[in-house]
Structure 1
Amino acid sequence: MDASKLLKEKRFWFASILIVWAAGLQAHMMWMQKQDSFKQKFRDLNQKKDEDGDLNADV
């Protein structure tokens, strides 16, 4: 198939946009999971320090 003919087809653009959107969504979900695990890890540390009286978790 000729490249110029391929670029004129709507199916090609729809498939390309769909692939880019899916990759972006996957990257966003991975980033959100990383943020959640980071918050969970350091929330636990703050709670342990708060029980010892070293730090206040509300600060």
Structure 2
Amino acid sequence: MVGVGHSALYRWVKNREELVDLLSEVVVERILLRANAGDLEWRAWLTRLAWAMHVRP
């Protein structure tokens, strides 16, 4: 635990939707930087990207 309340987070983002958007951007950037799309056919690469982003309950 970082010792901060969840309300402190909303000083930086407007709402939950904006938070999810920002998190998604970071995840995609990190995955895309590691992925070498030239190694795979585009559908296989996109499938790998989607599975890497898949949220497990």
TM range (shorter): 0.3 to 0.5
After TM superposition, the score normalised by the length of structure 2 is 0.41
Instruction: Compare the two structures and name the one with the higher helix fraction.
Output: 1
Structure with higher RCO (Cα < 8 A, 6+ apart): 2
After TM superposition, the score normalised by the length of structure 1 is 0.40
Structure showing greater radius of gyration is: 1
